[in-house]
Amino acid sequence: MTTQIGIEDYGFATGSKVFDLSLLAEHQQISQEKYTIGIGQEKFSVPSYDEDVVTLAAAAASQITSRMDPAQLDSIRTLIVATESGIDQSKAVAVYVHRLLELHRNVRCFEVKQACYGGTAGLATAQGIIARNNDERVLVVAVDVARYDADSSGEPTQGNAAVALLVSATPTLLAFDHAQGLAVTDAMDFWRPNHRTTALVDGRASIQVYIQQVLTAWDDYARHGGRQFEDFAAFCYHQPFTKMAAKAHQRLSRHVSTELSAPAVTAQIDPTFVYNRVVGNSYTASMYVGLIGLLEGSNDLSNKPIAFASYGSGAMCEVFSAVVLPSYADHLHTERTQHTLGQREPVDFQSYRRLYYDYPNPTDGTAITIARETPGPFRLAEISDNQRHYEAC
């Protein structure tokens, strides 16, 4: 019998403040329905000054490690953090997270990047490591803070979140199928040069590249022995905004010549939107925020296959699938997720702009201390000598 490799546990974190897109529509003097209906978004999370990708990643991952038996912690021998909003060109976010989690010394720590696809690259790597040694566990964290220029078309599609996934040969939530479909093309649809804190994007082109890449990766998935489109109970797409997933799913159903009624389309993708509509784009974490929404919000998914389409601009796409395990309902953290989202502090337009664009980021070595604001378990306390100093709260 071949070993099942899949997801054993998960953690979720997001910025402690929240901005309602109706306030952006008001500032722009446009109808808020452009956001609620046109792109399918209501709100996005905003980080406080003492939150960043390190504190969010550690907050999500610590939920998993705190639930593990101390004897099991030694089985985590790899910690991968996927992000495109990292804090250093050299040192990996994973090394900071490793210290904050107080994991043992014998851990392979590194960072991966390919826009919003990075988390899926981390999961594919984890499966290879566990296939070689079934006793090991791999902690994969997908985390990002999405930033576009103020007053650009991308501004309503910002957001942030971290999703931590514990991958092992003793999964409780999902078991991965073997087939994987891949597609890469050199596109300039979205990018962020080293000198910029905000991304550049060709919005309309990015939608076209996204859809084309999903179709190409789907065909590759089918050629590699993947399941049939009709077999899936749900489809989980990368969600820069939820309407993007709806557009891609309608296009994919036409591509495979499946006539889906509108209610059928809705049933297959809407449960993955529930958290993303109020978190915003969390780049590499976004598809996995969709997965958490699906698992926590659906009726019984036991033994049902789920398809994933993981897109990252630039552009990479991977289509893969997994089967929900019968034990999954006993391993959900629905109340915790809803509490995390519900306790976010609403901010007005001026506060959102200040928090999003005027955050502490000295580029000349100036020392600053940062007041405690986050309700999370870790915080950015100081930046001095070009170093970021984190502490447990």
Task: Give the residue numbers marked as catalytic.
Answer: 84, 116, 238
User: How many beta carbons lie within 10 A of that of residue 18, not counting itself?
Assistant: 23
Q: Which is nearer to ligand HMG, 234 or 309 (CB)?
A: 309
CB within 8 A of 380, min separation 6: which ones? 49, 50, 51, 52, 54, 55, 360, 370, 388, 389, 390
Closest CA to 320 of 249, 207, 235, 212: 235
Tokens representing residue 305 in the block: 């296959």
Which one among 16, 48, 313, 321 touches ligand HMG, defined by CB under 6 A?
313
Tokens representing residue 20 in the block: 């309602």
Tokens representing residue 285 in the block: 């974490």
Tokens representing residue 57 in the block: 């990643």
267 binds ligand HMG (CB under 6 A): no
Q: Which is nearer to ligand HMG, 84 or 318 (CB)?
A: 84
Which one among 281, 310, 337, 374 touches ligand HMG, defined by CB under 6 A?
281
Q: How far is the CB of 39 from ligand HMG (least distance, A)?
A: 5
With CB atoms as reference, the residue minimizing the distance to ligand HMG is 38
Which one among 134, 153, 185, 387 touches ligand HMG, defined by CB under 6 A?
153
12 binds ligand HMG (CB under 6 A): no
Closest CA to 229 of 285, 181, 288: 181
DSSP assignment string, 341-383: HHTPEE--HHHHHHHHHS----SS---EE------SSEEEEEE
24 binds ligand HMG (CB under 6 A): no
Q: How far is the CB of 93 from ligand HMG (least distance, A)?
A: 16
Tokens 């990015």 locate to: 206
147 binds ligand HMG (CB under 6 A): no
How many residues of this chain bind ligand HMG (CB under 6 A)? 30
CA 194 to chain centre: 22
Q: What is the DSSP letter of 328?
A: G
350 binds ligand HMG (CB under 6 A): no
311 binds ligand HMG (CB under 6 A): yes
Tokens representing residue 50 in the block: 């003492």
The partner residues of 9 in beta bridges, in order of sequence, read: 166
Q: How far is the CB of 289 from ligand HMG (least distance, A)?
A: 12
Cα-based distances in Å from 204 to 31, 190, 193, 211? 20, 11, 20, 11
What part of residues 97-126 is at the interface with ligand HMG (CB under 6 A)?
Answer: 115-116
283 binds ligand HMG (CB under 6 A): yes
Q: Which is nearer to ligand HMG, 44 or 359 (CB)?
A: 44
388 binds ligand HMG (CB under 6 A): no
190 binds ligand HMG (CB under 6 A): yes
210 binds ligand HMG (CB under 6 A): yes
298 binds ligand HMG (CB under 6 A): no
Q: Which is nearer to ligand HMG, 154 or 376 (CB)?
A: 154
Q: How far is the CB of 215 from ligand HMG (least distance, A)?
A: 14
Which one among 41, 206, 268, 298 touches ligand HMG, defined by CB under 6 A?
206
Q: Which is nearer to ligand HMG, 290 or 376 (CB)?
A: 290
47 binds ligand HMG (CB under 6 A): no
Q: How far is the CB of 200 from ligand HMG (least distance, A)?
A: 10
Tokens 């089967």 locate to: 323
| Residue 91, helix vs strand vs coil | coil
Tokens 């000598």 locate to: 385
Which one among 22, 28, 38, 72 touches ligand HMG, defined by CB under 6 A?
38
Buried b / exposed e over 325-349, threshold 16 CB at 10 Å, is: beebbebbbeeebeebbeebeebee
Tokens representing residue 257 in the block: 């010549």
Tokens representing residue 317 in the block: 């796409």
Q: Which is nearer to ligand HMG, 62 or 83 (CB)?
A: 83
Q: Which residues bind ligand HMG (CB under 6 A)?
A: 31, 33-34, 37-39, 84, 115-116, 153-154, 156-157, 189-190, 201, 203-204, 206-207, 210, 238, 240-241, 244, 281, 283, 311-313
